[in-house]
Chain A
Amino acid sequence: MELRINQKTYQVDAEADTPLLWVIRDDLGLTGTKYGCGLAQCGACSVLVDGNVVRSCVTPVAGVVGREVTTIEAIEVDEVGKRVVAAWVEYQVAQCGYCQSGQVMAATALLKRTPKPNDAQIAAAMVNLCRCGTYNAINAAVHELATDVATLAAPAGEIV
């Protein structure tokens, strides 16, 4: 099947029900997207599909044919994603870092859709698990981004 990932087209030989995560990691060698639980519980595998955050460990690969998938490897191509990464560095969010690809994807999806989210919207969107307990740093970074509207003016869904 033909997949669009990070604005490139790939021919992939996989069964339709193979989770997108394993195609990304093992077939394409893009290992920034992490396996944590395989059950959509932790969010370490979060990627964007047409700008919406999905948990790739439970997303059948056939379901994203004809859609635009963005993984952490291309997150800085996106203007919003680039700002999210910069905020993550500024706020020194990562500890072990294993969940942070997913956290960055979740924040990017939120801010692309809702450039100025309120507390409830942030809480509803930022639900990925972090065993190192970086939640307060994540929260601070997202709030900073949420108030920094001028630099986050890219229209929702647009890949800059």
Chain B
Amino acid sequence: MSTPIDSALGEPINLSRRRFLVASAGTAVGALVLGFGVPLGSARMQAIAAERQAAGTQVSAFLEIRPDNTIRLLCPFIEGGQGTYTAMAQIVGEELDADPSTFVVDSAPPGEAYVVMENGLRITGGSMSVRMSYPTMRRLGALARAMLLQAASARLNVPVSELTTEPSHVLHVASGRSLSYGELAGLALDLAVPAIDSITLRDPSQFRWIGKPVRRLDSYDKSTGKALYTIDLQVDGMLHAAVQHAPRLGMTVGELRNEAQVKAMKGVHSVHRLPGAVAVVAERWWHAKRAVEAIQVQWQEPSSDSPLRIMPADFSSVAFRERLANEPGPGRDAEVEGDFAGTLAKAKTPVEATYHNQYVNHAQLEPPSALARFNPDGGLEIWLPNQAQDFFLADIAKRTGLDPSRITLHTPLLGGFFGRHFLYDTANPYPQAIELAKAVGRPIKLIWSREEEFLRDPLRPMAVVKFRAALDANGLPVAIEAVSATEGPTEGLAGKQGEKLDPSALEGLTDKAYAIAHRRIAQIYVKGPVMLGYWRSVGNSLNDFFYEAFLDELADKGGHDPYELRLHLLQGNARLTHLLQSVAELSGGWKRGPFTAEDGSRRARGVAMASPFGTETAVVAEVSIENGQVKVHDIWQAIDPGSIVNPAIVEAQVNGAVALGLSQALVEEAVYVDGKPRARNYDLYPILPPARMARVHVKVIESGAKMGGIGEPPLPAVAPAVANAVSRLTGQRIRSMPFSSYTFSQPT
């Protein structure tokens, strides 16, 4: 019998690792239940979620147990470096009673069976995977274990109550008999799934793998080139494609002045006109790329009724920032508490400052690609990087007119994502790959060159924030206002401001824990022409920089130490007080400086905090000035996500988030001139190189609070901690990123 898992995933051909899976899938048991009920929007998703009796209970849709006791888990979330495959193996394995190291994890296909998050969604983003599915995935493991026990009961003809398990085995202690999970799987996974109230989860004090630094399952494959990303896939008969995009979004393809010559270039199969792009199909990608770049396209200005977000020829990111800075208020209130205006009017010491940030690119190392194949039955099989399978499937169905049941969507490993692989119209290669595969009648792998990626990558938004604040007679802040002129990524994707403000525009300014009685946080919505996207830690990535750097200004103005001021403003907040004290302790005690380090350099430290994605963080940074630029020596970070699954992966994620936080603070900036990005590659768009990485020291605090996120939360407090240290060291206020736009003199 051909296995449903096999046909549903339709693994690509000629791939040795995949071939192993396909070959071994002959042992698959149970039916893979594919839900083709495609979500039509989050409201519908929530309705589906409410109707569902219990998410994550279709055991055989997730698990395949092989005769050798290896366990294949189809994971609802995508692995892109954050360690979710390992974390899910730990969570499921803990309750299933199977060592996570015996797991082989792959991405699950789209489908309702895999909608396991408590908010009724299934995406890989918002640092949500573990925290939103933890009880469900534990239950999944426990249900599978119960089925194995039932199967063993039948095989051994003893009651379930006489059976126990040890990793990958069911034991009948009384008779000394045991059966491996692999021996039982054929029977077990065909049984009815037990009622969810019939199972008991393991007592956390008995955890063997959850909470332990279990090794990542993908380390070896990723250290030896064996890990496969979309860009690596090959199928029989495949042709390669490359594109040249319109220099500005919205422009259309006019005459191709040298089409005949390009068609005659070596290796060229065909030349194609696509919406806003031209493409070359060839036997080899190098030929396709060279040829497509040689095409002289007469790009046409967009028509006024273009449905796209048109990039005007005179757009400049610097000028747009000026516009944001001058946009008249007062803006729409996001958070109002007390009487800000009245308090400010009476204030002894009013303080004002204007901050801004920069556009940034995702710049993940794997350039986007897509592999599309129309099968003989007219169905479409497609491999592409994504963070939201159900949404992508629905979009492909809409674009192609195919019923979703005729589309097979595969999600290989992501070569980094950071928010890059959500559904961004005009920023994904798959519509082009599908169109080309249809046109040539053969499978197409389309890779966007790095240059094309920089041209179409949606950017992290830019904001100009005007702060006003009042200090009381003791120099303590009693009122604060932040008005952000910006467009958030969510409203950017919608193309308009919603009835409610976009939380992704203002998070990091709103809901601060500091006891400042009179507050007003507001947004002036300014729609720009730039395509916007989510970028690791989203609004927090800019807003925590603004707020925490301004808070240091208030401390200085009021004559208070910034660490002591934060402690004061957090009085009565035991969790955050402990967190802040913990990071100080981790750094050897709070020491602002400036001071002279052992190497003779003058240094100072800064502190900052953030509360992103349900997690609390505090950072201390130590800096010096080297050749007029900021040198960050050490980052100490205390992080309280409530509870965790894998401390080693948490520490790795803190390191990674610190790197990206430093990168945006120190060097990154996407600049647009004349409607075009100045940088189309890493030469003009520097990302943090190894030489500018800081030592990172991590303290994880498991306070027992509701579980928070891990992938994004360690990022936002990095930039303000560095900025505050630099301000202390140099006496110069840092009110914008990146800091490479400042020149610092050597402190003495």
Contacts and interface: CB of A to CB of B under 8 A. Distances in A.
A76 B220 CA distance: 11
Nearest to A105: B225
Interface string B667-693: 000000000000001110001111101
Contacts of A94: 81, 216, 218-219, 222-223
A153 interface: no
A7 interface: no
A134 B655 contact: yes
Interface residues of B, number: 62
A65 interface: no
Nearest to A98: B415
Nearest to B82: A95
Contacts of B568: none
Nearest to B414: A96
B693 A133 contact: yes
Contacts of B234: 29, 31
A30 B232 CA distance: 9
Interface string A99-134: 111001000000000000000000100111111111
B81 A132 contact: yes
Interface stretch (B168-176, B361-369, B519-527, B570-578): B361-369
A19 interface: yes
Nearest to B445: A26
B226 interface: yes
Contact of A100 (B222, B681, B691): B222
Contact of A136 (B218, B367, B687, B696): B696
A22 B285 contact: yes
Contacts, number: 170
Contacts of B218: 94, 97
A131 B228 contact: no
B633 to A, nearest CB: 13
A29 B235 CA distance: 11
Interface in A37-75: 37-39, 41-42, 44, 71-73, 75
Interface in A3-50: 15, 18-19, 22, 25-27, 29-39, 41-42, 44
A133 B659 contact: yes
Given A95-B82, A134-B656, A85 B450 contact: no
B363 A131 contact: yes
Contact of B450 (A39, A97, A99, A128): A39
Interface string B431-467: 0000000000000000101110000000000000000
28 contacts: A26-B284, A30-B225, A39-B450, A39-B683, A41-B682, A85-B220, A89-B219, A89-B220, A92-B215, A92-B652, A94-B216, A94-B218, A95-B81, A95-B82, A96-B81, A96-B222, A96-B414, A98-B365, A126-B690, A127-B690, A131-B416, A131-B660, A133-B658, A134-B655, A134-B656, A136-B655, A136-B696, A139-B693
Given A34-B415, A129-B687, A131-B416, 15 more contacts: A31-B231, A32-B225, A36-B367, A36-B450, A73-B224, A92-B219, A95-B81, A96-B81, A96-B366, A101-B225, A133-B657, A133-B693, A134-B655, A135-B659, A139-B693
Interface of B: 14, 80-83, 215-216, 218-229, 231-232, 234, 240, 266, 284-286, 363-367, 413-418, 447, 449-451, 648, 652, 655-660, 663, 681-683, 687-691, 693, 695-696
Interface of A: 15, 18-19, 22, 25-27, 29-39, 41-42, 44, 71-73, 75-76, 85, 88-89, 92-101, 104, 123, 126-139
